[in-house]
Chain A
Amino acid sequence: MADTVQNSNPENNNNNNNNISAYYQTRAAHHAVVTSDWLAQAQAAVGRDPDDSPETAVPTVAGKPFSVIDEFNSWRKQPDLAEAVAAIRALAAVIRNCQATTMMELEIELKKASDSLKSWDTTSISLTAGCDLFMRYVSRTSALEYEDFNSAKSRLIERAEKFGEISCKARRIIGMLSQDFIFDGCTILVHGFSRVVFEVLKTAAHSKKLFRVFCTEGRPDRTGLRLSHELAKLDVPVKLLIDSAVAYTMDEVDMVFVGADGVVESGGIINMMGTYQIALVAHSMNKPVYVAAESYKFARLYPLDQKDMGPALRPIDFGVPIPSKVEVETSAWDYTPPQYLTLLFTDLGVLTPSVVSDELIQLYL
């Protein structure tokens, strides 16, 4: 059964064949606490990060042929780096390492690289969206008018790096934008671990706002435990809930903050399993649901319902053997329709769900 498959190697290029979502594998590796000694692991992960960054920051491709995927994976190892940004950096590296001598060749190579990245993990919406946006952003430049190929190429690289920087800053911008919505004394419910949401809460804590946070456990990765740990370090009052206690605690909650794996054209979001039901509960109790998502997660997708997209599967550990006759729902995400969302905090500004499609059209057309 898929649930018992443990594919612990996220870098495995073939993991699509196992139907295991590489995206969620990475997330689990970065944010989840699967064992009871999660604290130690989390600390270990934090401790390892500084080592990672310098080593990956130098994309050295000495003798062996350059591969986008390797490049991407080396960037991806940094827990703080979003997958889309990793993709953007990897694509920028493609331009840098490109042996092409004409613009056309370069473009074709870039396209190939982005396609291979996209097909490497089809379950990562932000990867696909990031690649698409990069192609738009980079190729939509006057570089093509340069007569000299090298200057055109350097212009492209410049643009690519700028785009990478913008994407990197997105989280901080969102953190700033959302501060007006967090008021003293409020209670915030968060689901799972989202780097953006954590940034928002961190910024609020640093600006001396008084609030408390309810963290869901975030099964099966239990990413919520990690978040509660991080928040406790910031001296924010935290309460951990099991995922099924959301409705029970909702009346105490003032607002719900969730991240997003992808923001789709309807203005809805695709996010970790459980987001939809939290949004439903919040909606029925008239609590605002805020989504924090960087604009590189805007994807040209329009799911009509939950089953409209291919599922992203991930293993679920129930702790006991599951009889083979029992089927296990292993989908990692769900789709929350726009009518249950109040506002989206993005680096483009604070948007209502309905404006998303507008922004998407502007981004892509």
Chain B
Amino acid sequence: MDARRATTTVPRVRQVGFFTPNAPPTQPSRTQSFPLDSNSPSPSNSPASNSLLPVMIPPPRHLSDNLAHRATSPLPVPEPSAFRRRFRGDHVAVVGSYNPTETLLGASPPLASPSSRVIGDGEFSEESSPGWFRRSNSAKFASSFSGGFDLTSVKSSETLGFRQDQKPVVARSKEEKSGAAVVEPQINKGRSSSSNTKPLKEKTTKAERRALQEAQRAAKGKNVSEGVSSSRPVKQKQQPVQKKDAQQGAPSIAASDRKGGELPSEKERRKDAPPPRMQFDDKSRVEKAKRRAVVNQTEARNRVELFRHLPQYEHGTQLPDLELKFFQLDPMHPAVYKVGLQYLAGDISGGNARCIAMLQAFQEVIKDYSTPPAKSLSRDLTAKISSYVSFLIECRPLSMSMGNAIRFLKSRIAKLPLTLSESESKASLCADIVHFINEKIVLADNVIIRHAATKITDGDVLLTYGSSCIVEMILLYAYELGKQFRVVIVDSHPKLEGQALLRRLVGKGLSCTYTHINAISYIMQEVTRVFLGASSVLSNGTVFSRVGTACVAMVAHAYRVPVLICCEAYKFHERVQLDSICSNELGDPDAIAKVPGRMDINYLDNVTNKDNLQLLNLMYDATPAEYVSMIITDYGMVSHDPTHKRACHCARVYEGALVDIGKLVTNWRMLCLSEGSLSSGSLAWDTSGTILDIYGYNKRLTKNAQFPSCVDAAKLQMD
């Protein structure tokens, strides 16, 4: 630990993995969910910026650094987790499908069905539903996010009081990607009293804010130079190194945590340049976020060391608290509030269901929306939605699919023709939402089902893990087609969602085998196909899914059983992630400490609060692309290859940004080269986290005998 600390503190860079979501120079990359939020704020005015945001830039680190970080884990880990949706920690088996009927079939609490959620009144009843108290999740999360980005949400933030103020800085740093950004953090360190200026900023225009900040900066710069804490000088030195992370305002989190008491000045500095995603190992920031948060959460006592960067709270305390505040939160639309509570309680789970619930709530919001006097619909509504989104994040972190949906909605709002009247705009937005749900989710699923059914032949033994609504639909469809096959459902504690699926499948007459993941290596011998759902598919082909999926895929790969991932295209994300640590969601630790229905297994009953016990209930894991044979999306069956088109696309989007960043780059690294050689379409990342698009070049590199020269070029870059 000590050794590691030393390393981490020095560079001040927080990220662990290369690819981790920390998006250095350009914020968008940081978190998917964010981009949306973030967009809205500063550049929000320009639709173009919105569209750009989705792309992520991988963090710059060297491999070795990463490893070090990882090993020692806690602090430096970047926290992409924001997007990752959190799972509720409860055992309630809520059916994941967005299809209401399916949900009802399951063991889920009455309110679980997504369709019902929009209705304004169900909140209290929901709270009483069995699962609610188990869910927890980080209020803090949300605040960190929104804090970073939301300028637009000013209004709402003021009222709600949970927003951070620093957005302007972030926004700015984004704009002046490189040079200015580097300087900023240092200056900001010195800031102590900037808080009062913020309200001003929020109301002023971008230009004004900028000017204001420049002035402040200058003032602060002086302070800084006068020297503050001993620790600071160190940081300053390193910043240049990490310029990549312009926004990285909170680079020192790791260091500060360890030290325990940070210097006040450091705190201030951090405030000024908030990182987009909150690292929960940063005490001061967590404190602040807490103050702003709508949802009150208590920190878990024994936090798992490796996952300190993720929010870990006592489960079960938030709901009653939120309930009490119901009447104080006027600006929150009831539909949104309801969906938030349902997320919190775990009544809605499953990527599609949550996404649809959210979109329908936003539809309600738009219907009830009227533009305040002297404001423009596109800006005000975007801000409003951003504030709702941050509330939802507090209830439970967004999934990537939800992030994509929000991004879609915001870009729609931004692109509304000015000539439209308010009612027309609203109608068009509502129609857009309906289209999104129908085309990207419902129709997409139909297409996927059809594709997948062609891969099922008579005599197959299909294995699935947990409960994925899309896999369930595939199995039922193939069964209706009269295919003769057998299903193996593999399940695991603590959720045992597979049982709900098993019940429905058996009810339909399919022949099923049910087993726990402990028996996976035995059962895999007789399996011919593995069908898995996914929370999202990242651009390097990594599949993010319910924890345990990676294990199933790995065993299947070892037995040479094809692994088919079924995932709608809207769940694809540009991020790249190598492990499950950086970004994840932690469930209720109690869920794994107790075995439901077994009173005799009570060994942990009085031990859970002991300091030397850390319970880790991880919700997701990352399945590396090499274990995946095929990804079935609505666009057809695609190869999982890391040189995925989306990755390339994302690189292209960033080309513009590269121009600025390129000036700073001295050290290039080739990272993502497929199979370790300069063989295929691939991305090159430099140490500062920028992407060099060599894809187009590389793809045809051997044409016209360019192969050798290209290899040289690549080597040059690596040197």
Contacts and interface: CB of A to CB of B under 8 A. Distances in A.
A65 B645 CA distance: 46
Interface in B645-688: 645, 648, 674, 679-681
Contact of B635 (A308, A350, A352, A365): A365
A265 B637 contact: yes
B705 interface: yes
B369 interface: no
B105 interface: no
Given A304-B529, A354-B674, A355-B699, A265 B638 contact: yes
Contact of B681 (A180, A265, A348, A358): A358
Given A304-B562, A305-B562, A265 B639 contact: yes
B455 A304 contact: yes
Interface in B249-283: none
A351 B562 CA distance: 24
Contact of A349 (B455, B529, B636, B700): B700
Nearest to B528: A305
A343 to B, nearest CB: 7
B703 A349 contact: yes
Interface in A336-363: 338, 343, 348-355, 357-358, 361
Contacts of B645: 358, 361
B154 to A, nearest CB: 42
Contacts of A357: 638-639, 641
B506 to A, nearest CB: 27
Given A180-B705, A355-B699, A304 B680 contact: no
A232 to B, nearest CB: 29
B699 A351 contact: yes
A183 interface: no
Contacts of A267: 639, 641
A280 to B, nearest CB: 13
User: Which residue, of B629, B636, B648, B674, has the highest number of chain A Cβ atoms within 10 A?
Assistant: B636
A354 B643 contact: yes
Contacts of A349: 699-700, 702-703
Contacts of B707: 180, 350
Given A354-B643, A355-B643, A304 B630 contact: yes
A146 interface: no
Contacts of A354: 639, 641-643, 674, 680-681
A27 interface: no
Contacts of B639: 265-267, 302, 338, 354, 357
Contacts of A302: 630, 637, 639
User: Which residue, of B641, B642, B707, has the highest number of chain A Cβ atoms within 10 A?
Assistant: B641
Interface string B418-458: 00000000000000000000000000000000000001010
A350 B455 CA distance: 30
B702 A308 contact: no
B601 to A, nearest CB: 41
Interface in B551-598: 562, 564
Interface string A279-316: 00000000000000000000010101100100000000
A343 B701 CA distance: 12
B628 to A, nearest CB: 11
Contact of B699 (A180, A338, A358): A358
B695 to A, nearest CB: 9
Contact-residue bracket for chain A: 20 to 34
Contacts of B629: 304
Contacts of A355: 643, 680-681, 699
A355 B675 CA distance: 13
A177 interface: yes
A304 B529 CA distance: 9
A358 B705 CA distance: 21
Nearest to B701: A350
Contacts of B641: 267, 354, 357
Interface in B171-220: none
B630 A266 contact: yes
Contacts of B637: 265, 302
A357 B680 CA distance: 12
Contacts of B680: 351-355
A289 to B, nearest CB: 13
Interface string B451-493: 0000101000000000000000000000000000000000000
Contacts of B703: 177, 349-350
Nearest to A357: B639
Contacts of B705: 180
A232 B105 CA distance: 72
A350 B562 contact: no
B700 A352 contact: no
A113 to B, nearest CB: 25
User: Which residue, of A180, A302, A351, A353, has the highest number of chain B Cβ atoms within 10 A?
Assistant: A302
Interface string B677-719: 0011100000000000000000111110101000000000000
B636 A300 contact: yes
B651 to A, nearest CB: 13
Contacts of B455: 304, 308
A300 B629 CA distance: 16
Contacts of A348: 700
B573 to A, nearest CB: 18
Contacts of B638: 265, 357, 361
27 contacts: A265-B638, A267-B641, A300-B636, A302-B637, A304-B529, A304-B562, A304-B564, A304-B629, A305-B562, A349-B699, A349-B700, A349-B702, A349-B703, A350-B702, A350-B703, A350-B707, A351-B700, A352-B679, A352-B680, A352-B681, A354-B639, A354-B642, A354-B643, A354-B674, A355-B699, A358-B645, A358-B699
Given A304-B529, A358-B645, 18 more contacts: A180-B702, A265-B636, A265-B638, A266-B639, A300-B636, A305-B562, A348-B700, A349-B700, A349-B703, A350-B707, A352-B674, A354-B674, A355-B680, A355-B681, A357-B638, A361-B638, A361-B645, A365-B635
3 A-B pairs with least C-beta separation: A350-B702, A352-B680, A349-B703
